Chain A
């Protein structure tokens, strides 16, 4: 949907209002059908757990750990994707080889390679980081490569006229020129890595001494503490939504507007 800056802000505000409207609906369903509080705890209890988790520091620390790991994986995956795109640009053989590898790896869910990852890295932070990088790398690579391929022909001509050479041309023309595509890749990569991390932690167990949000969900299930489980799920959902709508999508729109690709 191609919305102007003002319309886009209104649209996002409306979506967050709908989110708030869902809370009373939860309570309405729970009370109307007399649902067991273990399955659907009262909203107040979920919020109490949520606030307690934040103020007590445990949920906040786990959220921070999760964000740090996923952000680290995003950064590493982005750098790796850039290196792969640079290699891919060296010739047809490299390009076709990397294209094949990305076609094979891109559809492969992180969870599907968990048994192998456990064999290779054990169940520590390295294994989780590998899963995150796998989730991030391929969508960013595919988007970035598509961006480099669709650069304005006039920029390539200009790079040739200035005799920039392949490295300078990549750093100063191709990379910044495909920046909107890179952000698109980051959006997909972020969503995939966030899901992969939460899922991986529920299989691997706690990452580090404290564990992340995946471990919080797993722990709450074992303790049958559904209010804490829902509060952790709420954090996972809100973080995903905020990251996508308030940071990455806005960033992409801002860049595309600055470039004249979207109306202001």
Chain B
């Protein structure tokens, strides 16, 4: 049997800032198809840079990026990047027009007939299509950005702390929305976060990134597929992961 190729593979990537040490060097990472892989690490360790490289938005000094085993060097609508940024939607377009934008631009990957109203319903914004981005709350904006990303029918979603600026209640609701969408669309997701609980709630696989830009071997999320995990399990795992995470943060501070 042929080995299954990862949906996204980063092979021996090295990224440097001009006049500075490398952000990471010789870094390799595989993201399995249809899984949520969570990259957990302290601020400033290079997680977001890695995600930009995975989207081919940043040029790397060395290394290669593979999608379904094929090397890629340019960004593509098949790898949608969602940021924490409050200004991702185009403010001159209504929410519905924002969501249908990739289809109108002929940039959708699949059939190119994604129905923007259906996508808005999927993210719980069925009644907000005629509103403009400035009329939306932070959580609604991120939902609309998610719907817009889905309209391009991507195979891979790259999420750069997309819920970090939202309050905890809205974040919880968006976790449910993301899980449901992931299941329905069979998406491959690489999520960057520094929120341990978020990683436990969402991820199939968790990878730690330390201050040196080094990755730990992938670990299966102990609470994976346990949506109704006992609160004690969740608490215990959160504490365990937080300890590990804090040791990474301490390493940065030292």
A residues adjacent to B (C-beta < 8 A): 152-155, 157-158, 160-164, 168, 172-173, 176-177, 179, 257-260
Contacts and interface: CB of A to CB of B under 8 A. Distances in A.
B104 to A, nearest CB: 9
Contact of A260 (B57, B75, B134): B134
Contacts of A258: 91-92, 132, 134
Q: Looking at chain B's contact residues, is the secondary structure mostly helix, strand, loop, or mixed?
A: loop
Contacts of B57: 157, 160-161
A155 B90 contact: yes
Given A152-B85, A154-B83, A164 B90 contact: no
Given A172-B105, A258-B132, A260-B134, A161 B83 contact: no
A261 to B, nearest CB: 8
B24 to A, nearest CB: 20
B147 to A, nearest CB: 14
B46 interface: no
Contact of B90 (A163, A168, A173, A257): A173
Contacts of A155: 87-88, 90
Contact of A177 (B88, B90, B102, B105): B90
B152 interface: yes
26 contacts: A152-B88, A154-B83, A155-B88, A157-B57, A157-B83, A158-B88, A160-B57, A161-B57, A161-B75, A161-B77, A162-B101, A162-B102, A162-B105, A162-B107, A162-B152, A163-B74, A163-B76, A163-B107, A164-B105, A179-B92, A257-B134, A258-B91, A258-B92, A259-B92, A259-B134, A260-B91
Contacts of B75: 160-161, 163
A53 B198 CA distance: 74
Contacts of A257: 134
B55 interface: yes
B15 to A, nearest CB: 17
B90 A260 contact: no
Nearest to B102: A162
A176 B92 contact: yes
B50 interface: no
A155 B77 CA distance: 14
Contacts of B132: 258-259
Q: Which 10 residue pairs spanning A and B have beta carbons closest together?
A: A260-B134, A162-B107, A259-B91, A152-B87, A154-B88, A154-B85, A176-B92, A161-B75, A160-B75, A162-B77
A176 B90 contact: yes
Interface size for chain B: under 10, 10 to 19, 20 to 34, or 35 or more residues? 20 to 34
A161 B81 contact: yes
A168 B81 CA distance: 20
B133 interface: yes
Interface string B126-143: 000000111000000000
B32 interface: no
Given A172-B105, A259-B134, A161 B76 contact: yes
Interface in B78-97: 79-81, 83, 85, 87-88, 90-92
A125 B112 CA distance: 51
A184 to B, nearest CB: 16
A83 B101 CA distance: 24
B87 A154 contact: yes
Contacts of A168: 105
Nearest to A260: B134
A161 B55 contact: yes
A161 B79 contact: yes
Contacts of B80: 161
Interface in B194-218: none
Given A161-B76, A177-B92, 10 more contacts: A154-B85, A155-B88, A161-B77, A163-B75, A163-B77, A164-B105, A164-B107, A177-B90, A179-B92, A259-B134
A246 B58 CA distance: 46
Contacts of A164: 105, 107
A154 B91 CA distance: 12
A153 B91 CA distance: 14
Contacts of B55: 161
A259 B107 CA distance: 25
Given A152-B85, A177-B90, A260 B76 contact: no
